[in-house]
Amino acid sequence: MNEYDYKEEADSYDQKVNEYDSHSHDVIFGMSYEYVKSGEKILDLGIGTGLASINFSKIGLKVYGLDMSEDMLNICRSKSFTEELKLHNLSISRIPYDDHYFNHIICCGVFHFLGDLGNLFSEVARVIKKGGIFAFTVSPGTTTEEYKKEMTDWGVPIYKHSLDYIKRLLDRNEMRLLKGQRLLMKGADKVNYDMTFSVMIAEYK
């Protein structure tokens, strides 16, 4: 089980993203917009309540989602915009879809709960189609280590990943970085902007 208690979080999640100025899902959509079109299939890894993919469904993409929390999936399901939702743990399993099934893949606000991303990137490369985009957020590390678990000031541990590590994973899996953008979000005091994320958009070549 994840250290972060999503069961408690699920009901209030959508409200909390506003309190924390945590709008990376909207940034991912805006940065991806030029590469996607109506009718394409998009997979949302760690879909949660669906904030990151609902905009893609509004412009006609078919949304599929995976998440390890049934509570988050239930809230997402109640919004009635997805084609298919599956309970799935990204850190231990094969993505439960055939090779090159999706046009695009997004993963917003999830890498910082996972350490090693090697298997996940190779699974993304297996299920995405050529020319599709992989759009994700990452909490960038300041050391040379590939990834490191660090305690936040508010007592929740998160993984930070070095951007060199992310770039190596992209290279190894035939993906090319198209765009990157740093974002600042509030921490637990809901006042100070002490969380940094990078939004990255890569193309599967």
Site of interaction with ligand SAM (CB under 6 A) = 2, 6, 25, 46-48, 51-52, 67-69, 72, 89-91, 108-110, 113-114
| Terminal-residue alpha carbon distance, the chain | 35
User: Which residue's entry shows tokens 């993409």?
Assistant: 61
Q: What DSSP state is assigned to residue 129?
A: P
Closest distance of CB 46 from ligand SAM, Å: 3
Closest distance of CB 164 from ligand SAM, Å: 23
What are the DSSP E strand ranges found in 16-116?
41-45, 62-67, 82-87, 104-107
Instruction: State which residue has the least CB distance to ligand SAM.
Output: 48
Nearer to ligand SAM, 46 or 132 (CB): 46
Q: How many CA atoms, within 13 angstroms, populate the side-chain half-sphere of residue 179? A: 16
Nearer to ligand SAM, 30 or 131 (CB): 30
Nearer to ligand SAM, 31 or 90 (CB): 90
C-alpha dihedral (111, 114, 115, 120), degrees to nearest 10: -80
Closest distance of CB 18 from ligand SAM, Å: 12
Closest distance of CB 127 from ligand SAM, Å: 15
Nearer to ligand SAM, 128 or 195 (CB): 195
Residue 176: count of CB within 10 angstroms of its CB: 10
